Amino acid sequence: MRPGKIKNICLLFVYITCLFMVFPNSVLAMHIMEGFLPFNWAAFWMVVMIPFVILGLRSIKKTVALHPSLKMLLGMAGAFAFVLSAMKIPSVTGSCSHPTGVGLGAILFGPTAMTVLGMIVLIFQAILLAHGGLTTLGANTFSMGIVGPFTSYGVYKGLQKLGAPRWLSVFAGAMLGNLLTYVTTSVQLGLAFPAADGGMTASILKFMSIFAVTQVPLAVSEGVLTVLIINILSVYSQKELQLLAAFTNGKITAVNQEAKA
Amino acid sequence: MKLVIKNGLLLVVVIILAFSPLFLAREAEFAGADAQAEEAISTLNSNYEPWFAPFWEPPSGEVESFLFALQAVIGSGFVFYYLGYAKGKYNAEKSKKA
């Protein structure tokens, strides 16, 4: 990435941060509707989100600095999340919801990179589509940009270690990442709106029955689509994937050695 | 060709998953899950007033679906641009080696 581009990206985030400072009541944006989290909870999730965003920016910068050839692939992972979040798909429960598409990027680039990309998608939807919201951005980024990608990444890595075939690890990672995103949303709403009888647990279950059950077939779809893209990449983008395989093994120092080997 | 067949089958699975609910749950309204959550909140806590409204809301369902379609187009445009680029690069390298 050229220095000019990095500067532009930094400026974008400065802009977003300023936006938050100018509208302090309105901090966050995604699957929980605008204004539907009490202020304290909205602020809490926002604060939780910030360190992950910083880590994500660092991780993206590092990836791109070490391997400029991965820039395009990173953009593609972001675009994938962008498309899938726009698809409101009917589900067997008779309502609609959408996949998140963050599993692919998390598996390729690590979970924190997707915190940043997921947040950008959420901001777009909150501002232009009134879907999600700026006040709920922190909570929604936490579910879609933190819990989802970390789950995908963890499940993928875990299954790979156990020797599962790659398609299975990718499928399970993307699917569970999507599912847990909405389980998290239910928990967030349940914490903020405890039921009069049964308290938090009762209302968490209630929200889960709305979000999470609807989400099961969509999670499977997301898993399948992610496998489909990985299949294509593993034929046409072998080189990039080899660079990344080194990446996702953790230590950056090991990357150069492996890339040379 | 193997890749095409494999991915074709995967695509069929996704299409079945996405469209079968329309036949399985014929009576349903297919409203958004987020709208249902709004209702649930008002039953759990009828005093709750959303304390912040979006700056701007799409004025109609048409405009909203246009914006969603736009989002999908921008995203898929880049995804397929990348896939085409990767395939072109792969083929170019292969023919160079040959």
Residues whose CB is less than 8 angstroms from the CB of residue A109 and which lie 6 or more positions away in sequence, other chains included: A59, A60, A63, A70, A74, A77, A244, A247, A248
Residue A257 domain-assigned (yes or no): no
pLDDT at A115: 94
Give the number of A-B residue pairs with CB atoms closer than 8 Å: 189
Residue A156 has pLDDT above 90, yes or no: yes
Cβ B54–A126 below 8 Å, yes or no? yes
Interval A96-107 mean pLDDT: 89
pLDDT at A30: 37
pLDDT at A257: 39
Interval B71-82 mean pLDDT: 92
Cβ B72–A125 below 8 Å, yes or no? no
Closest-CA distance of chain B to residue A141, Å = 16
Point out the residue among A94, A218, A235 whose CB comes nearest to the CB of B30: A94
The larger pLDDT score, comparing residue A223 to residue A252, is at: A223
Residues of B in contact with A209 (CB under 8 A): none
For residue B28, give both structure tokens.
């349903």
Q: For residues B56, B62, B63 and B69, what is the CA-based torsion angle, rounded to 10 degrees?
A: 120
Residue A258 domain-assigned (yes or no): no
> CA A119 to CA B3: how far, in whole Å?
33
Query: Which of A208, A219, A189, A231 is CA-nearest to residue A100?
Result: A219
Query: Which of A142, A41, A148, A61 is CA-nearest to residue A105?
Result: A148
Total number of residues shown for chain B: 98
A95: nearest CA in chain B?
A: B30
A197: nearest CA in chain B?
A: B44
> CA A115 to CA A181: how far, in whole Å?
12
For residue A69, what is the domain's CATH number?
1.10.1760.20
| Beta bridge mates, A142 | none
pLDDT at A247: 57
Tens of pLDDT along B21-55? Answer: 888 777 767 777 767 777 777 777 767 777 777 77
Angle between helix axes A199-236 and B2-24 (nearest 10 degrees) is: 150
- Residue B9 buriedness (CB in 10 A; 0-12 / 13-18 / 19+): exposed
Q: How many structural domains are present in chain A?
A: 1
Tens of pLDDT along A26-37? Answer: 222 236 878 888
Q: Does A28 touch chain B (CB under 8 A)?
A: no
Angle between helix axes A199-236 and B33-44 (nearest 10 degrees) is: 160
Pinpoint the alpha helices (H) of chain B: 2-24, 33-44, 61-97
pLDDT at A216: 86
Closest-CA distance of chain A to residue B40, Å = 8
Residue A44 sits in which domain range? Answer: 3-252
Cβ B37–A214 below 8 Å, yes or no? no
Tens of pLDDT along A167-195? Answer: 999 999 999 999 999 889 888 888 888 87
Residue A46 domain-assigned (yes or no): yes
Residue A62 domain-assigned (yes or no): yes
- Residue A100 to residues A122, A124, A149, A182, B29: CA-CA distances in angstroms? 10, 14, 10, 10, 22
> CA A255 to CA A231: how far, in whole Å?
23
Residue A164 has pLDDT above 80, yes or no: yes
Residue A34 domain-assigned (yes or no): yes
pLDDT at A4: 66
Residue A227 domain-assigned (yes or no): yes
Residue A53 has pLDDT above 90, yes or no: yes
pLDDT at A252: 39
Q: Specify whether the CB–CB gap between A96 and B19 falls below 8 A.
A: no
Residue A259 domain-assigned (yes or no): no
Interval A214-220 mean pLDDT: 86
Residue A57 domain-assigned (yes or no): yes
Residues whose CB is less than 8 angstroms from the CB of residue A260 and which lie 6 or more positions away in sequence, other chains included: none
3-class secondary-structure state, position A123: helix
Cβ B86–A95 below 8 Å, yes or no? no
Q: Is the ipTM of this complex over 0.85?
A: no
Q: Centre a 10 Å sphere on the Cβ of residue A175 and count the other Cβ atoms it contains.
A: 26
3-class secondary-structure state, position B47: coil
Residues of A in contact with B55 (CB under 8 A): 127, 134
| pLDDT tier for residue A124 given thresholds of 50, 70 and 90 | confident
| pLDDT tier for residue A24 given thresholds of 50, 70 and 90 | very low
> CA A85 to CA A70: how far, in whole Å?
23
